[in-house]
Amino acid sequence: MIHKPPDLAHFERVAMETVVGFPPAFRAGARDVALRVAEWPTAQMVKEMDLLYPVELTGLYEGIPMTQKSVFDMAPQPDVVWLFREPILEEWRIRDDVELDDLIAHVVVHEFAHHFGWSDEDIATIDQWWL
């Protein structure tokens, strides 16, 4: 029997549950970030990230990290954490060693870490997920 992969609503539900589960200090810092789930990243996102293929981008943080914000900044666009369903599903199929909801949650945590001011290198020092 072929099962249909979870839809965008499932991804959004898991992502929201992940944010609600953040420790209180992080949950408060995540409050003003919009969470968006889409099938694929836009061509512009892929180009800006200097990627060859959209499947390489499972999530994206768009905004100014909390550590770089200033009261003197002009009113910026709202910060957004994006999740991309098809690339996450592809990563899940390739890995075959992780539950899909765990992978969704991991991408959420990774992208919110960027909002809190962590670089990919910072995240990699404590996150052994991809090894």
Q: Is residue 90 a part of any domain in this protein?
A: yes
Residues in the chain: 131
Q: Per the structure, how many domains does the chain have?
A: 1
CA–CA separation, 69 and 27 (whole Å): 18
pLDDT band at 21 (very low <50, low <70, confident <90, very high): very high
Decide: residue 80, CB within 10 A, 0-12 exposed, 13-18 middle, 19+ buried: middle
- pLDDT 10s digits, 35-49: 999 999 999 999 999
Q: How far is CA 7 from CA 13, 22, 40, in A?
A: 10, 24, 13
Residue 71's pLDDT is what?
Answer: 66
Q: How far is CA 100 from CA 23, 28, 92, 93, 127, in A?
A: 22, 26, 6, 9, 18
Q: Is residue 9 a part of any domain in this protein?
A: no
pTM here is 0.88
Residue 118's pLDDT is what?
Answer: 81
- Mean pLDDT across 17-36: 91
- pLDDT 10s digits, 53-102: 999 999 999 998 888 877 666 666 789 999 999 999 999 999 888 999 99
Q: Is residue 5 a part of any domain in this protein?
A: no
Q: Is residue 112 a part of any domain in this protein?
A: yes
Residue 29's pLDDT is what?
Answer: 87
Q: Is residue 93 a part of any domain in this protein?
A: yes
One DSSP character per residue, 33-69 reads: -EEEEESS--HHHHHHTT-S-GGG-SEEEES--GGG-
Q: Is residue 126 a part of any domain in this protein?
A: no
Q: Is residue 72 a part of any domain in this protein?
A: no
Residue 131's pLDDT is what?
Answer: 47
Show the domain range for 104. Answer: 23-63+81-120
Q: Is residue 3 a part of any domain in this protein?
A: no
